[in-house]
Chains A and B, each alone.
Chain A
Amino acid sequence: MFTFEDLKAKLPDLSYEPFDINGTTGAIIPREQILDVARTMKEQFGFTNFVDALGNDRNERKMRFEVIYNIRNLSTKERVFLKVRCDERDPHIPSVVSIWSGANWHEREAFDMYGVIFDGHPDLRRMYMPDEFQYHPLRKDFPLMGVEGSIPLPVDKDFKVRMN
């Protein structure tokens, strides 16, 4: 069984905060240490399978955004969640693409939806929305019905001519 105490034994200056995900192990990791933690988890604890990453808008003044990594050890069938938080004014989190290449599209999605910038990501483009789109739709302050005029729709140039 993986515990974060074992991880702390390998990384002595790690400061983590345990977080229970409905019975599954998880922890909040400071963003400065996420790369070390990710590398140790993969290389020494066998968490090679990257399952998912998701962003979340906590809608709080401090540490507004968080990114949750869902990783798995295929031989021991264990799952662990890693959480990294960042402020709205400084929405930067180190990218883990160099460790798990599967994080690539998930981080692009989190960037698209929340505006979290993943430092060191090889190709940080929007995943779903058009490149010209100005907003981050899954933020809590983005209206459900969208912002008028934010998506350029195809214009029929002859339309006005035909109408007249």
Chain B
Amino acid sequence: MIHEEFITLEKDAPRQKIVEALLSKDTSVTLSEDSLDHEMILNMGPQHPATHGVLRVLLRLDGETIITSECELGYLHRGYEKLAENMTFHEYIPHTDRLDYISPIANNVAYCMAVEKLMHVEIPRRAQIIRVICCELARISSHLMAAGAMGMDVGALTVFVWTMREREKLYDIFDILTGARFTVSYMRIGGMAQDITSDCIKMIKDFLDGLSEATREIAALLHKNRIFIERCEGIGIMPPDEAIDIGWTGPGLRASGISYDLRRDEPYLIYPELDFDVITRTECDALARYFVRFDEVAQSVKIIRQCLDKLQLGPIFADDAKVVLPRKGEIYSSMEELINDFVLVNFGQAPPKGESYFAIEASKGELGWYLISDGTGTPWRSKIRSPSFVNLQGLSRLLEGAMISDTVAIIGSLDPIMGEADK
């Protein structure tokens, strides 16, 4: 029988709606004959170290087999869509850092490009190249974290420490490039805060040279590791048609055999000029999702090297005084720039009335903003299309019929970041 004391603390209190939903869910798992004797509900999270943040999962178990599961989100809900409606476009940029806090710089790029699309602003070539470099560095940072955390979830703790060592070097690069290590707020509408320096370029080159050695080490630890392979292989299978139906994007979709990458298929910035492969696997399981991420790191390195070759001197801001904030030096020396800065900071850029959607291929999948403008300096509606949210939607499907110990490996293979999923 289902033990009531697991569900509610007080006997007379009504059942939570999430428990009702869990119990009424259909399942394809065939129950064992005496399932009623073994059935129980297990609560995982929100304070569980293996759920990558504050994700709560309710599992309905038959012995150790998961019959159905139900996720609960919202423990990190900060109302960023409501906040966006009450501030100017520029003021919102630091908030985008807090969405996917593992790769904040890619969120900056996605948001700024969505606003630029709404305002029909074209940024200069050097700024585009720097943005591509930033996006790919963020992808490396995120994928290293995902690989390390997934290894840690199934017991390979060393990998996590080694990937964190590489990420520490990345943070040093971000420190030089943007002035901040973690929440960078580097992009501006129409450009970026400051230009990339030759010191920074040298640091990036050194990092890339060291990274191939580091990925070899990680591969040596994991790819022939019997425990890691056997714990991840064949679990959490997502068939391609269901992955499309649920709306998966990013490494999850590509591990299910669908070769779709916004960088190639809906190109933006200078991606059409770059030579890179879209990594696709057909196994559809947790291990395939790990390998897609691992191989994408090498592709990102390839992209950054090409970008560094293409980098030439030039402006990093669009030539549009109605959109771009004036430089600080000009504000203190020229009256017009001071007035312009005052107007832009206080009232914001006023895009034309209308609606716009723009998305980039972030490390977790399609990260986009749907912006509705009423012609004033604040957006009427700013909807975040966050990949982690959609990827988590497939979790119940993956957990059906899995063993309870597989749960952590499956969640690790999805690589959810709750800051992004909860907004």
Chain A residues within 8 Å of B, Cβ to Cβ: 20-22, 24, 48-52, 54, 56-57, 68, 70, 74, 77, 79, 81, 100-102, 104-105, 113, 123, 125-131, 137-138, 142, 144
A residues near B380, Cβ cutoff 8 Å: 56
A131 contacts across to B, CB distance below 8 A: 16-18
B261-279 with Cβ < 8 A to chain A? 265-266
Least Cβ–Cβ distance between A110 and chain B, in angstroms = 10
Contact residues in A for B357 (Cβ distance below 8 Å): 21-22, 24, 70, 79, 81
Chain B residues with Cβ under 8 A from A104's Cβ?
393
Q: Is the CB of B73 within 8 A of A127?
A: yes
B372 is an interface residue with CB less than 8 A from chain A: yes
Residue among B74, B118, B242, B356 with the most chain A CB within 10 A?
B74
A74 touches B82 (CB 8 A): no
B245 touches A100 (CB 8 A): yes
In the complex, A6→B81 CA distance in Å?
A: 35
Q: By the criterion CB–CB under 8 Å, are B422 and A102 in contact?
A: no
Bound complex: CA of A145 vs CA of B347, how far in Å? 21
Report the bound CA distance from A127 to B74 in whole Å. Answer: 7
Contacts of A54 on B, CB cut-off 8 Å?
370, 381, 383
The 7 closest A-B pairs by CB, nearest first: A102-B247, A128-B74, A22-B356, A54-B383, A128-B77, A52-B385, A102-B246
Question: Does B355 contact A22, Cβ atoms closer than 8 Å?
Answer: yes
B77 touches A129 (CB 8 A): yes
In the complex, B412 has a CB within 8 A of chain A? no
Contact A52 B368, beta carbon cutoff 8 Å: yes
The interface residues of chain A lying within 8 Å CB-to-CB of B82 are: 137-138, 142, 144
The A-contacting residues of B in range 374-417, CB under 8 angstroms, are: 380-381, 383, 385, 389-390, 393
Q: When each residue 218-259 of chain B gets 1 if its CB lies under 8 Å from chain A and 0 otherwise, what string results?
A: 000000000000000000000001101111010000000010
B393 and A105 form a contact (CB under 8 A):
yes
List of B residues within 8 angstroms of A20 by Cβ: 354
Contacts of B118 in A (CB 8 A): 22
Beta-carbon contacts under 8 Å, B1-42 to A:
16-18, 21, 25
Chain B: residues with Cβ within 8 Å of the partner, total of: 44
User: A136 CB to closest chain B CB, in angstroms?
Assistant: 11
| Cβ–Cβ contact A48 & B79, under 8 A | no
10 interchain pairs, CB-CB under 8 A: A22-B117, A54-B370, A68-B370, A74-B244, A81-B357, A100-B245, A102-B245, A113-B81, A125-B17, A128-B423
For residue A104, give the distance in angstroms from its CB to the closest CB of chain B: 7
Known: A51-B366, A102-B247, A102-B390. A70 touches B355 (CB 8 A): no
Chain B residue at smallest Cβ distance from A48:
B244
Give the docked Cα–Cα distance between A137 and B423 (Å): 13
Q: How far is the CB of A83 from chain B (nearest CB, A)?
A: 10
For B389, list chain A residues within 8 Å (CB): 105
- Interface SS majority for chain B: mixed
Nearest CB to that of B373 among chain A residues? A22
Please state if B385 and A48 are interface contacts (CB–CB under 8 Å). Answer: no
Contacting pair B370 A74 (CB below 8 A): no
Q: Quick check: B265 and A52 within 8 Å, CB to CB? A: no
User: How far does the alpha carbon of A49 sit from the alpha carbon of B393 in the complex, in Å?
Assistant: 14
Contact B370 A70, beta carbon cutoff 8 Å:
yes
Q: Which residues of A contact B81 (CB under 8 A)?
A: 113, 138
| Cβ of A107 to closest chain B Cβ, rounded Å | 11
**What residues on A are CB-neighbors of B356 within 8 Å?**
21-22
The CA of A144 and the CA of B87, in the complex, are separated in Å by 11
Contact of A49 among B17, B117, B244 (CB under 8 A): B244
Query: Which residues of B lie under 8 Å from residue A100 when comparing CB positions?
Result: 245, 247
CA distance A74 to B249 in the complex (A): 11
Given contacts A21-B355, A144-B86, are A129 and B246 in contact (CB under 8 A)? no
Q: Which residue of A lies closest to B352 (CB)?
A: A22
The answer to whether B247 and A49 touch across the interface, beta carbons within 8 angstroms, is yes
The verdict on B260 contacting chain A, using a C-beta distance below 8 Å, is: yes
Measured CA separation A81–B246 after assembly (Å): 17
From B86, B241, B245, B370, contact of A50 by CB (8 A): B245
Residues of A within 8 A of B244 (CB): 48-49, 74
| A142 vs B241: C-alpha distance when bound (angstroms) | 40
Q: How far is it, in angstroms, between the C-alpha of A56 and the C-alpha of B73 when the chains are bound?
A: 21
Q: Bound complex: CA of A74 vs CA of B245, how far in Å?
A: 11
A sample of 17 more A-B contacts (CB under 8 A), given A22-B354, A130-B74, A144-B86, is A22-B117, A22-B356, A22-B357, A56-B381, A70-B370, A74-B260, A77-B265, A100-B245, A102-B393, A105-B393, A123-B21, A123-B25, A125-B18, A125-B21, A127-B74, A129-B77, A138-B82
**Nearest-Cβ distance from residue A86 to partner chain B, whole angstroms:** 16
* Residues from chain B with Cβ under 8 Å of A77 in the complex: 265-266
In the complex, A131→B357 CA distance in Å? Answer: 31
In the complex the two chains form, what is the Cα distance from A128 to B389 in whole Å? 11
B246 touches A101 (CB 8 A): yes
Q: A22-B118, A22-B357, A56-B372 are in contact. Are A137 and B73 (CB under 8 A)?
A: no
Nearest to B81 among chain A residues (CB) is A138
Which residues in chain B, 168-222, are within 8 Å of chain A measured between CB atoms?
none
A29 to B75, CA, bound (A): 35
